[in-house]
Structure 1
Amino acid sequence: MADAEVRTAIAADAAEIARIQLGTWRSAYSELLPPGVLDELTEDTAEQQWREAIEENSTTVLLATEGDWSVGFCAGGTAPTGETAAADGSVPEDANSTVLVSTLLVEPRWGRRGHGGRLLGTLAQQLRQAGNTRGISWIPEADEASMAFYRGVGWEPDGTVRTLDAGGRPLRELRVTGTLELRFQ
C-alpha cells in the first residue's frame, strides 16, 4: 500500500470531501435512500457545507489520503445534548464529555485498507486530548458494514433508535457508543 495518512482538513479540501460523500452515498446507500433523495444532492451544496464545517471551530474534520488520493473523511465534535439523551429523555452524567461522530466515510474502492480505523482513531485521540471520554454515532440499521466496523473498535448500540424521513421513506438509525480509548482488533 502507498503511504496512507490522516490530516486535518482545510477549506481547499471541501470539494474532495463533497465528492467522496456523494459518491459513497450513491454507491453504498443506494438501497437505503430513495433515488430522488440522492439525485437532489449537489456537489456545490455539499462543498459549501463542508467548507463551513471545516472553518467552524467546534467541528473537527479529518481527511484520509493514500498516496496522492483523498480516500475518506470523518467529522466530529461536541455532541448536542439532544443527541446524548437516553431513549427516556434523561441526560447521562458524562453528556458534557461526549462527542458525536457525525460522519465517517471511506470510498468503497478504498475500503478494507485501514482508512476508517485511522480516521476514527485520529479523531478519538484529538477529542480525548480535549477532555472528552465517550463518543456516539448514528448508523442506519441496515448498514451492516458500518455496524461491524464500530463494533470492532468497541462501540455498541445502546438501545436508542431514531427514524428519519428520507424523502418519504423512513430511515431507522441505531445509536452506537463507546469510549474514546478505541480497541482495534
Structure 2
Amino acid sequence: MLIRPAVRDDAEPIARVHLAAWREAYAHLVPLQVLAALSVPERADRWRGILDRGETDVVVAVDAVGDVVGWASASDGRDDDAPRPRELEGLYVLEASYGSGVGQRLLEAAVGTGPAYLWSAADNPRALAFYRRNGFVPDGAELRVPFVDREIDAVRLVR
C-alpha cells in the first residue's frame, strides 16, 4: 500500500472513496437511499477545489493495482478555539481495507503522532475506538453539525 500526497487527478477517486465510505459507515445515521443519491462528480468538483486551494494537506492510500482505497486530510485547524495545532479534517478507508493498517498509516501521514484534534460523529463506534487507540480522547466539546440532509451530533477528540 502506497501512501502519498494527493494531486488534482485524485479528486474523482477520492470522491468515490468518500461517498462509498459514507455509505458503509453512516447508513445507521442517514437512510441508504439518501446516501446512494449523492453525486461522485459533484463531490469530485469539491475535491478539486480543496486540492487547488492547497490549504488542506490531503494524502491518499493507493493499492497494488493503483486504486485509491482511502484518504486523510488535515490542516492547521478550522476552529477559532482550536485546542491543538493540527486538525484531522477527515479520514476514510473502504470497508474492504478495514484491518489492513491503511487507516493507521493515513492518520500518521496526515497528523503524525503529536498533538492534534478532530471532530467525529458521536454515533460512530468503529471510528471512536480507532481514535481512542491512537490517544484521542473527548474534550467535552459537542456540536450539532449538518450532514447530508440532516444534523447529527459530533464530539471533539484531542490528543
Same fold (TM over 0.5): yes
Superposition deviation, residue 50 in structure 1: 0.8
- Cross-structure match for 1:161: 142
In structure 1, which of residues 107, 125, 129 is the aligned counterpart of residue 94 of structure 2?
Answer: 107
**How has the CA–CA distance of structure 1 residues 163 and 36 changed in structure 2, closer, same or farther, with 3 Å as cutoff?**
farther
- Cross-structure match for 2:69: 71
Distance in 1 (CA, whole Å) between partners of 2:95 and 2:81 is 28
In the alignment of these two chains, the number of paired residues is 158
- Over the residues paired in the alignment, what is the CA RMSD in angstroms? 1.9
**Identity value in percent:** 27
Distance in 2 (CA, whole Å) between partners of 1:168 and 1:57 is 28
Does the CA contact (< 8 Å) of 1:72 and 1:105 recur in 2? yes
- Cross-structure match for 1:19: 16
TM-score by length of 2: 0.90
Deviation readout 1:93-130 (Å, 9 max, x if unpaired): xx6xx2221110000011110001100101123xx8xx
Does the CA contact (< 8 Å) of 2:91 and 2:103 recur in 1? yes
Distance in 2 (CA, whole Å) between partners of 1:39 and 1:82 is 34
Does the CA contact (< 8 Å) of 1:34 and 1:166 recur in 2? no
Superposition deviation, residue 34 in structure 1: 3.5
TM-score by length of 1: 0.78
Distance in 2 (CA, whole Å) between partners of 1:124 and 1:114 is 16
Superposition deviation, residue 165 in structure 1: 3.8
- Cross-structure match for 1:118: 105
* Higher gyration radius (CA): 1
Gaps of 5+ in 2: none
Gaps of 5+ in 1: 85-91, 179-185
